[in-house]
Amino acid sequence: MAHLTSQVCIVTGGSRGIGRAICLELAAHGATVVACARDGAKLADVAREARERELPGVIEPCVLDINDGAAIDTVVSEVAEKHGRIDVLVNNAGITRDGLMASMEDEAFDAVINANLRAAFQLSRAVTKHMMRARRGRIINIASVAGVMGNPGQCNYAASKAGLIGMTKSIAKELARRNITCNAVAPGFIETDMTDVLPDKVKEGVLPLIPMRRFGRSEEIATVVSFLAGEGASYINGQVLVVDGGLYM
Ligand code: NDP
């Protein structure tokens, strides 16, 4: 059960949805999890849940806006200093600013690229120096089937996730010799705040396309991330694990 004991993991977007489930799953396997997001109260709530469930690991709340590159470097340095190691980075935080391409403002495009792609680059760069020194590490990027298939109304989001997949493969090739792997998980439709806001018409239109005929749960992504973080995934590198009930195949 506790295959991540003594591992130090940084998870972005740990306050809600998939990130919250990832933090709890990693803590359930004994990890010390630095859960980052902007909403400190929600992060404290996740940490409380870990304590109440008496999970073997610990969740440490960390208020961080991933649009602040300097803050990213500070957080990573502080984690490395406090714990002496960073074993796993999960780039999970992400946003949508949906709209049709023909009428999308530059600002909506840039905001999504910066949060979903640039921040993942900056975080990966920041942890890499610590992982290289240790000659071990795992970087796990939460992409999306939108980055593989495209999705109308999401040209910015799909571009950010396709970019994340390309970055994953490049990092995987750059760092493999240092025993650092980099993989992506591409969820399909998962029940979270992000999909809650979709109009019923859109949700009803998607369901028949999913062979399993249901949206996924955050925990069904978290278990995959936990697997990729553990020893059992030691020879998996540069892959995109699609977790979508069969939507894309
Ligand atoms: P939610 O909207 O439920 O949660 C998003 C998380 O990202 C929150 O914890 C939020 O924290 C954090 N976040 C957003 N902006 C920032 C920021 N500027 N700085 C720090 N943290 C930020 O999303 P999901 O849980 O659904 O999605 C998680 C990931 O999974 C995303 O990358 C998403 O693209 C991806 N994904 C989701 C799918 C789905 O169907 N739900 C499908 C495919 C991929 P806070 O607001 O507290 O800062």
Ligand 1 centroid–CA 220 distance in Å is 16
Digit-coded pLDDT (tens) for 41-70: 999 999 999 999 999 999 999 999 999 999
pTM of the model: 0.98
pLDDT given for residue 15 in this prediction: 98
- Which residue is closest in CA terms to ligand 1's atom 39? 190
Mean pLDDT of all residues belonging to the chain? 97
Indicate the residue type of 42.
K
- Which residue is closest in CA terms to ligand 1's atom 48? 38
Digit-coded pLDDT (tens) for 73-119: 999 999 999 999 999 999 999 999 999 999 999 999 999 999 999 99
Angle between helices 17-28 and 40-52 (to 10 degrees): 30
pLDDT given for residue 172 in this prediction: 98
Is it the case that residue 1 has pLDDT exceeding 70? no
Cβ atoms of 130 and 136 within 8 Å: the answer is no
DSSP, collapsed to helix, strand or coil, labels residue 205 as helix
Residues with a catalytic annotation lie at 157
Ligand 1 centroid–CA 12 distance in Å is 8
Ligand 1 centroid–CA 224 distance in Å is 17
DSSP type of residue 247: S
Instruction: Please identify, by atom number, the ligand 1 atom nearest to the C-alpha of residue 215.
Output: 40
d(CA 219, CA 247): 18
Please state the rounded mean pLDDT for residues 145-155: 97
Indicate the top mutation candidate among 38, 45, 189, 193 to test ligand 1's pocket, ranked by most ligand atoms within 8 A of CB: 38
Both tokens assigned to 63:
């208020």
Q: Is 243 in the pocket of ligand 1 (CB under 6 A)?
A: no
Instruction: Please identify, by atom number, the ligand 1 atom nearest to the C-alpha of residue 93.
Output: 7
**Closest to 245 in 3D by CA, of 210, 209, 218, 205:** 210
Ligand 1 centroid–CA 177 distance in Å is 31
pLDDT given for residue 2 in this prediction: 78
pLDDT given for residue 114 in this prediction: 98
Digit-coded pLDDT (tens) for 177-224: 999 999 999 999 999 999 999 999 999 999 999 999 999 999 999 999
Indicate the top mutation candidate among 194, 195, 202, 206 to test ligand 1's pocket, ranked by most ligand atoms within 8 A of CB: 194
d(CA 225, CA 23): 10
